[in-house]
Amino acid sequence: MGSTKLKKMDAGERFGALLKQNGRVLLGLLVVVLVVHDIFGMHGYLAMRRTENEIKKVLAGLEQLNKENLELAQEVKELKTDPSKIENIARDELGLARPGEVIIKIPQSRQLPQSSTRKP
């Protein structure tokens, strides 16, 4: 039994000596591993930045959709309440006319380019 106790002490002493010799190196390696993990890890700095950018893109898309939704709601309101809006759609898109009016359609290839200001 005495010899096993001696071997255990020798192993403990060897570990202590190894730790004294290489302790700073092991501590430095541990710090480097932790820093690398904090930067490149699954929840590290780079992953956090990537997630923040995705959140910004989603919020910008949501803002655009909300703006479009408001525009469409306004258009629906106008269609429900403004007869002239419905008449304009009927004239422009469906080619309808009032009694006594004549519609003349010009082929697209013969039409002049329209300017930004239209005269009624």
Quick: pLDDT tens for 42-99: 889 999 999 999 999 999 999 999 999 999 999 999 999 988 888 888 888 887 888 8
| % of residues, the chain, pLDDT over 90 | 39
Q: Average pLDDT, stretch 4-18?
A: 72
| Predicted pLDDT of residue 73 | 96
DSSP 8-state class, residue 115: P
Contact between 36 and 42 (Cβ < 8 Å): no
Contact between 72 and 80 (Cβ < 8 Å): no
How far, in Å, are 55, 89, 104 from residue 100 at the CA level? 58, 19, 13
Rg value, the chain, Cα: 39
| Predicted pLDDT of residue 87 | 85
H or E element in which residue 6 lies: helix 2-40
| Predicted pLDDT of residue 70 | 97
* Residues 6+ positions from 45 with CB-CB distance below 8 Å: 38, 39
